[in-house]
Each structure stands twice: as structure tokens, then as C-alpha cells.
Structure 1
Amino acid sequence: MKQIRGMLRVIFGRTTFGAIALIAQIVILFAAYRFLSRYLAYFYGGFTLLSALVIIYILNKEENPIFKLTWMIPIAAVPVFGMLFYLFVELQIIGKLMNKKLRINMENTEKYLVQSPKVMENLSRMSRQNANLARYIKNSSHYPAYGSTNVKYFSLGETMFAAMKKELEEARRFIFMEFFIVERGEMWNEILEILERKAKEGVEVRFMYDGMCSLTLLPYGYTKELQKKGIKAKIFSPIKPVLTTYQNNRDHRKILVVDGHTAFTGGMNLADEYINRRVRFGHWKDTGIMLKGDAAASFTMMFLEMWNISETEPEDYSKYLRDPEYFYPLELSMEGFVIPYADSPLDEESVGEQVYLDIINSARQYVHIMTPYLILDYGMVKALAFAAKRGVDTVIIMPRIPDKKYAFLLARSHYGELLRAGVRIYEYLPGFMHAKVFTSDNTKAVVGTINMDFRSLYLHFECAAYLYCNEAVRDIERDFQETLAQSRRVTLEDLSQYPWYERFAGRALRLFAPLM
């Protein structure tokens, strides 16, 4: 009986009806195309000319060439349907309206994110290259470089979870949380109990999660349950059964801010596998950081800017600055520099990719990377290959047990070119590598939410922190070396032993790489 009830919930659930609605819309579009095809002979010349004009327009757009190729192939192969579908995507306005509201919110927070001349003077004196990167991030992503910030690195989700709970318990004014995945279980239950208790104590609690959760992990009306507990809750971009492109831009960020003085980010979502209380793909390797100090202000404003995309009332951002009476423990090291940044898929700047490329291209001794996915464009492949060819120790740690088979096959299709160039690739033997970490030359590192794939670099809202000459960089590199000791090196001989159909599938999937 229980199995029957479960089956009925699937059959008559919201996700099923949403999928049916989407399929129906695709069928209608295809039917319209079939109808037009009857008269194609009369208008063939016109459609051919229009398709050619669309292809010329795509060729001249300022975007990644692989995105151009992904559109040009269907337009050339099926001129009418391909052209109409492209125009349908290009004319979407919801994403443009969302971007406009986000830009307005960023303008409203700009006065709280002014770059300190003293910090830039100190950074320029230590490294002109890193000062230039800081200027780029400020100009493109709106967030300044900071000193006076302590960074604590967490090499496992379990240790970060313990630190998060401790900081939540000490909250006195407000708690902001923004996560991609939330799933009910031990981890979320423990956090929810603290949030509910803090809300009753008068702490302002805001919680936002991505709309993908409402498909399979949480009930669609779960925000109402949270609101009854005193938590201000909302879904970012709820999934709706409508053919539209803006729903492809998910909020992949992970942010926790407490009282404006402490912020967390990293790869960890709020589900039991991230702290290894549930085993899905072997041991789950995740990482994160805690910032205490001036840099927490950027994550405060980062959260509020996204929260207010769907709000109409003005926000008093000044209420959420750090309390000037709050003093950090004297034993905390505030040396070095921290540059938080966010990346939006709605503008024309791929900040996450540019920061990664800057690290790779400026590396002199090594660039070490941990990432769950390796779905790369031509520029990233060539940058990694060139780093290895000029003698930089270029090492990537990938999962041994993947969470998505198709993404793993696609990643392995890049292995050959990288290995031949001298890049060393390892696979994490205990299980799944979910960390998103760069470290280089004992001086710089990035920890955040940005995977090395098209979705993170181009399609999702993301965030991270760039660290320079900070003590935490040594901790990150130490963790990399310890993780490397638990990983197996991939060789060209290994590639030749992969089944032929897997190798073929990986290369065929490159056509759809921009969607993965």
C-alpha cells in the first residue's frame, strides 16, 4: 500500500504535471513548425535568407564561440524550426527584467562597498598583478578588495557544518542564508531548529533557496511552513511549467551571513550527503571558508541584492552593516587580502571564468585545482595546457565516483589533450569530489561555488572569495596535498582502456556541453 501511495504521488504530483505541460508546449511548437513546412516551398527563399541573416548575427555576437556553434548547427540543419526557436530564446524578456532589477539593487548597495584606497595601496605595493585583478573584480562584479579579514578554511563539510551551527547560535541581530539545495534530513533539521529558536529570540532570519528544490526535494509551499516558524523565506525563481529560458539561470550560490561580521561560502549545500551522514557516491569531499572581518560586508550585500530582486519595497541596507561595537577576538590573524565576488549569467561578463584564467595564466610554480566537473571551452583547455607546457605544475583532482555519468564522460573527453600537454589529472578514490578550489604559488587561492563547467561559468548565479597572501592559502594547499595522496593518477594508457562507446559518448556530448 505504501508503494502504491508513493507511485500515486509521483504520477499525480506537481513535477509530473509540470513535465507534461512542458512537453505539450514543445509538441505545439513542433506542430506549428510542421504546419509551416507545408508552405515551405513557397517561402523557402525567404526563410533561407532570414536564417542566413540570423547566422551572421550570431557570428558577430560577443559571446563564447561554442555557444555560437551550438545555435548555428540547428539553424543550418533545420532552418525554419532552428531559426524560430532561436528568436524565441532571444526575445525572452524576464531575464532582462531580472537583470535590470539586480543592477538597480547593486547601485543601491554601492555606497556600502566603496574600495578602501589604503587597501589598494597596500595590495599594489605587494603585487601589481593582484591589484589589477582586484580592479577588474570591483569594476565588473562590484565588490572591493579587503584587508582586516580572518579566513578559516574547512577541508570537509562536517567541520564547516559544526562552525556554522556555532555562529548561528551566537547570532544577535540577523541571519541570512542562501543555498542551492535544501533537503530535509539530519543536517537541515539541526539548522532549522536553531533558526526557529533564534527567530523566537527576536533575531531577523531570512532564508532563500533555489526553485529547483521544489521539484523533488521540498514541497512547493514549504516557504509557508518556514514563515509560520518566524523565518522570512522565499524561493528564488520557482520552476514553472512554461517554456522560457530564464529558468535555466539557477541560484547556485551558498551564503551564510551572521550579524554582518561573519560569512560562510563554499561548495556545501544543506543535505546529509554533504556532511557524510548519508552515503550516495562514496565519501563526499567538500570544502568551504568562514570570513570574519571587513569582507563579510560583501556577502551581506550580495545576499540582499538577490533577495530584493523580487521585492517592491525599498531596503534599508545600512541596518545590516556590522555593529561598530562588535570586536573580533584578538587571536585572529587579519593579515592578507580577501576579494569576495559574485557572477551573474544575465550580464555580459564571466567573472568566475576570468578569475580562474587569471590564476592559471599568472601561475609561476603551480596551479592546483579540485573540481567535480570538467566541461571546458577552448580557451580554458588551452590556458591549462599552456601553463603545463611552460613548466607550471598543473594538477586537477576529479571524482572517482561521479554523481552524473554523462558529465563524467564529457569531462574525460578532455583528458587526452590535457594529459598530452603535461597537465596531471587525478581521481579521488574514496568517492565524490564536490570542492571548488584553486590554489597557486603559495600566495593565492579561490574557494567558492564555481565549478569548471558551462553551467557555473555562464548559466548560474555564483559566488566565491579570492585570497591573496592569507594564512588560509597554506591550509588550502596542505588539504590539496592530503587529498592528492588519496587519489589515483590518470594516464594516457588508462584512456585507451576506457570502453569505446564511453569515449564516443563523451565526444558526442560535447555538442550539448553548453547545457551541462
Structure 2
Amino acid sequence: MYRVIKGIKKVMFHRVAYLLVAFLLQIALIIGVLLGFQAYFVVFYGFSILLSIAVVIWVINKNIHPEYKLVWVIPILLFPIFGGLFYLMMAQNRISRNARRKMGHLMEKSGEVLPKNMEIPKKMDETNRDAANQIRYINDFGLYPPYKKTQTYYLETGERKFEKLIEKLHEAEKFIFLEYFIIAEGKLWNKILDILKQKVKEGVDVRVIYDDVGCMLTLPKNYHLTLEAMGIKTCVFNPVIPVLSSLHNNRDHRKIAVIDGKVAFTGGINIGDEYINVYEKHGHWKDSSVMIQGEGVWSFTVMFLSLWDYLRDEVEGFLPFKNKYSKEELQKLEKEPGVVQPFFDSPLDGETVGENVYLNLITKAKKTICITTPYLILDHGMLTAITSAAKSGVDVRIITPHIPDKWYVHKVTRSYYGMLINSGVKIYEYTPGFIHSKTFIVDDEYGVVGTINMDYRSLYLHFECGVWMHEASSLEAMKADFFETLGKCHQVEFREVSGASWPRVLGRSVLRLFSPWM
């Protein structure tokens, strides 16, 4: 009984409970104020209808995806008295001009310290124009250049990733930068934290960025103050305040670790015990990451420092954090094949870099497309690209989870199976549990490992990052892992999805309609 009471108290006094109560009170207050105008019913009703009509016209003419337009137009038309007002309050991206200007300035500063390296696509124009054009796109709109002299190591599980990360953390001599959407207290974080505290004592510059929403249920309130007291410089991305606002939609979904400017990690893996299967949260957790060494690490160093300065409202020199390679090291790195290009996607610039990187790979594919993704919520453009590739004879294979982390998102994912399978796409579900990796392998020639899910939030609302690779040595390991994972999957047949009962089909259809909110 004591444990039950203690559990209830913990839930009642948790920060999430306070926020939920605050949001509900604000909604109730707004509705109460509006209903208070009933004495002026005709005027109020007429004004509300006109406002909702104006908002619908505005939404229809905005330069946003049709799916996002639809998900707002329908509720506004169904509830015209409140719909227009709620859209103006909740759907608008109210990032201030000052914030955009500050981020723009930091991007310009990043461009000044990043190498141009545009001789790489020039040399590729004659042999592979498709690859050269993709490199140019990422350079111009993903803001980061291509690199030779960069080693890539594909890490096929969370266990492998953290084995290497901990090894590299122990070797740190100058600085450690960690940026994660989720950091969860537990065995893994405690082990990392012990290393960070020791490195602080050794004079290493240790910095941590974590997302406030991502860590709301995994870290205590004001945990950044705890870390600061240990000497670990800490920033909390977009702290949640108890005010209804669309700004809460913009999250830092990146996972970046940089050590001494010599090595960097990114991929789908956050810091939590479930990522190394210390305990089963949704069955066996399958994830992946990539470690890079060499000149390409500089892009991740700049990527981290740009966001750090944005959050701290500081301006510091980036160049002191750039690693200087010896002649021998450069000679060794010159033997590495292929091109490596880290990239960054921001919701502040209006350019959907992550989606366009994926679309470029899909539309240029000639033989094979292998995708792993935890969520498969496709807009019309992405759905058309994938089905067109399969119809054209490209072998398209997609692995999704069998055990979901969010049941409603999984139902939306499954709602796409019928159309995809009917077009020739092969769909597999990872039967041991949940697959969280976000990888693309195309024609055994291109690969992407990153943080970008195939859903609306990742593609349009979050800060994301990834590594685009062409003929890099790690592609072979990526392909081997993909086909090994296929051996643990169930291939979904068309008859399994075509025979669903009408209530299930209806439920999935309704959820799919509102998928941009998920």
C-alpha cells in the first residue's frame, strides 16, 4: 500500500503533471472567455465564423505540405467557433525574428570556418553526376561540405556504440561534447557521468546539451544545475514553460558526441539503458550508429558549437577546437575510400534537408533501396517516390518495428503497408522487438546513418543530423547488418493487411489523417 501511495504522489507532483494542469487550465480559460461572449451571440458567432474562414483561406494558400493543411482545415471547419483561434495560437511557428537572425549569423560563422572542398564534386561530374549533385545539394542547403580523408565505422547495436564511445571518452584530453535528445538516469548514464566527472578534474572541457521534452520523464527537474555543480557545462534545449505555444514542437532530436575533434558519433541511439538492452522496454531494442574519424569530424564540432553558442547567447572562436593532423595521420587517412558528408537539418530555415536527402537517394536509385526506420509516416511526395521506384524495378525493402513504442504511430505506419506492398515494396517487421535505427543503403553505393525518422516531426519540426556516404568502407558493414536483421524479421504479405476488419481500417485512416501531429 505504501508503494502505491508513493507512486501516486510521484505522478501527482511530477513536472509533467504540473504542465498538463497548466495547459488544461489555459484551454478552459480561453473557452470560458469565449463562452462569456454569449450575450453578444450573433456578433461573436459571426466574428468566429469569419475568422475561421479567413484562417482556412490562409492555410490553403500557405507554402506548406498538403497533409499539414488538411490536418488543420478539417478541425477548423468542424469547430468554426474555436478552430480559427486555436490555429492562430497553436499552429504558428512563432520563433522570433531575433532568434532566426541569431541562428542565421551562427550559420554564416560556421560557413567561414568550414572548408569548401567543392573540387570533390567537380572531379565526380564526369564519373558520377548523380553523386556530385547530391553533394552540392547537401553543401548548399545542409550547410556542411564533403570530405575525403575520413574513416567511417558502422556500429550495428547500442552495445557496440557505447563500448566505442566509452573507450574514446577515457582517451579525451581536450574536450568532450555530448548532445542528446534523451539522457536517462541508469547504469549507462552513471558510467558515462563518472568518466565526465573524472575528465573535468583532469581539466577537460566537458559540455552537454539535452532536450527538455526528451528528458522530461528521464531526468529530474533542473538537472542541468546538478551537472553544472560538477563542472560539466550544460545547456537545456527549448525549456518547456507552462504556456500553450507551438514553440514546444521544435525539439533538438540530434545525437552527437565529439571527443577532442578527433572522433565523432551520430545515429539513432540516445543515452538510456534500453538502448543497450539492460532491460527490455519494447522487446529487444535494435539501433545503429556511425563513428567517424578524420577531417569530417570538424563538421560535427562546428555543428555542436553553433547550437551551443545559440543556446548560451555567446560568440566564441571555433578554430581552437579544430584538431591538427600530423603528416603521418593524413597519409593514413588518404587511403580511405569514398566521400563522407555530415549534414544538419534545422526547422528555422524553411529547407527540408533531411527529406530531400532521402528523396534524392530514392529517386536516383537504380538497383536496391534498403531502409530501416522506427516510424513510416509518409507524405504524398515520399510515398510517390518509394512506390515509383519499386514499380520501376528497384528492389525496395523497408524494416519497421513489430513491437511499437507508440501504438498509435505504429497503426499509422501499418496503414501504408497495403499501398507499398501492392506497388512491389517489401515490408519487414523486426519480430524480436523495436527497431529504432534510421539508415538508408542505396545500390551498395550510398548510405545514410543519422537521427532522422521518416515522420513529419523529424522531417519538418526538429533539429536533426546525419552522415551521407558515397562508396565509404562502412557501407559493406551496413549492408551485412541489414540482411542479418532481415533474418529476424517477418515479411508482411498483402493478404495480412488487405483482410483487416472495417473498424480497424477506419481507425487507422482517422489516425493517419492526424499523422502530422504525431
The two structures share one fold, judged by TM-score above 0.5:
yes
Residues 40 and 65 of structure 1: CA distance in aligned 2, closer, same or farther (over 3 Å): farther
TM-superposition CA deviations, 1:338-388 (whole Å, max 9, x none): 111111122211111111111110000011100111111111111111000
Query: Which amino acid in 1 is paired with 2:105?
Result: I
Match of 2:456 in 1: 454
Structure 1 residue 486 and structure 2 residue 488: aligned?
yes
Residues 401 and 327 of structure 1: CA distance in aligned 2, closer, same or farther (over 3 Å): farther
TM-superposition CA deviations, 1:101-145 (whole Å, max 9, x none): 222211112111232133232333432112111221122121111
Match of 2:472 in 1: 470
After alignment, is 489-498 or 20-29 more displaced? 489-498
Match of 2:354 in 1: 352
Distance in 2 separating the partners of 1:355 and 1:92? 24
TM-superposition CA deviations, 1:162-201 (whole Å, max 9, x none): 1111111111111100001111111111111111111111
Could you tell me which of 436, 457, 461 is aligned with 2:438?
436
TM-superposition CA deviations, 1:186-224 (whole Å, max 9, x none): 111111111111111111000111102442111112112
Distance in 2 separating the partners of 1:304 and 1:165? 22
Secondary structure of the corresponding residue to residue 216 of structure 1:
coil
Structure 1 residue 81 and structure 2 residue 105: aligned?
no
Match of 2:497 in 1: 495
Residues 145 and 2 of structure 1: CA distance in aligned 2, closer, same or farther (over 3 Å): same
Match of 1:150 in 2: 151
Is contact 1:95-1:246 (8 Å) kept? no
Which residues in structure 2 correspond to 1:106-255 (within 5 Å)? Answer: 106-255=107-256
Give the Å deviation of 1:312.
Answer: 2.8
After alignment, is 79-88 or 483-492 more displaced? 79-88
Match of 2:427 in 1: 425
Match of 1:28 in 2: 29
Is contact 1:339-1:466 (8 Å) kept? yes
Match of 2:99 in 1: 98
Is contact 1:214-1:239 (8 Å) kept? no
Instruction: Indicate the percent of aligned positions where both proteins have the same amino acid.
Output: 42
Query: Which amino acid in 2 is paired with 1:414?
Result: Y
Distance in 2 separating the partners of 1:243 and 1:44? 24
Match of 1:59 in 2: 60
Match of 2:342 in 1: 340
Query: Which amino acid in 1 is paired with 2:394?
Result: V
Distance in 2 separating the partners of 1:228 and 1:326? 40
Give the Å deviation of 1:83.
Answer: 1.3
Distance in 2 separating the partners of 1:68 and 1:347? 20
Secondary structure of the corresponding residue to residue 501 of structure 1:
helix
Is contact 1:174-1:204 (8 Å) kept? yes
What is the alpha-carbon root mean square deviation over aligned residues? 1.9
TM-score, normalised via structure 1 length:
0.96
Distance in 2 separating the partners of 1:239 and 1:413? 32
Match of 1:368 in 2: 370
Match of 1:407 in 2: 409
After alignment, is 38-47 or 149-158 more displaced? 38-47
Secondary structure of the corresponding residue to residue 178 of structure 1:
strand
Distance in 2 separating the partners of 1:376 and 1:329? 42
Is contact 2:207-2:233 (8 Å) kept? yes
Distance in 2 separating the partners of 1:190 and 1:202? 19
Match of 1:306 in 2: 307
Query: Which amino acid in 2 is paired with 1:430?
Result: P
Give the Å deviation of 1:297.
Answer: 0.9
Is contact 2:182-2:215 (8 Å) kept? no
Distance in 1 separating the partners of 2:516 and 2:152? 34
Is contact 2:256-2:265 (8 Å) kept? yes
Distance in 1 separating the partners of 2:37 and 2:137? 48
Give the Å deviation of 1:49.
Answer: 4.0
Distance in 1 separating the partners of 2:126 and 2:302? 28
Query: Which amino acid in 2 is paired with 1:228?
Result: A
Distance in 2 separating the partners of 1:274 and 1:214? 15
Query: Which amino acid in 2 is paired with 1:268?
Result: I
Distance in 2 separating the partners of 1:207 and 1:379? 36
Match of 1:39 in 2: 40
Secondary structure of the corresponding residue to residue 372 of structure 1:
coil
Match of 1:416 in 2: 418
Residues 287 and 299 of structure 1: CA distance in aligned 2, closer, same or farther (over 3 Å): same
Query: Which amino acid in 2 is paired with 1:486?
Result: K
Give the Å deviation of 1:326.
Answer: 8.7
Is contact 1:265-1:449 (8 Å) kept? yes
After alignment, is 35-44 or 426-435 more displaced? 35-44
TM-score, normalised via structure 2 length:
0.95
Query: Which amino acid in 1 is paired with 2:232?
Result: I
Query: Which amino acid in 2 is paired with 1:234?
Result: C
Query: Which amino acid in 2 is paired with 1:418?
Result: L
Residues 205 and 418 of structure 1: CA distance in aligned 2, closer, same or farther (over 3 Å): same
Query: Which amino acid in 2 is paired with 1:35?
Result: G
Match of 2:278 in 1: 277
Is contact 1:409-1:503 (8 Å) kept? no
Give the Å deviation of 1:90.
Answer: 5.8
Which residues in structure 2 correspond to 1:259-274 (within 5 Å)? Answer: 259-274=260-275
Distance in 2 separating the partners of 1:483 and 1:171? 33
* Unaligned 5+ runs, structure 2: none
Is contact 2:446-2:471 (8 Å) kept? yes
Is contact 1:409-1:502 (8 Å) kept? no
Question: Number of residue pairs matched?
Answer: 516
TM-superposition CA deviations, 1:397-451 (whole Å, max 9, x none): 1111111111111111111111111111011111111110000101001000001
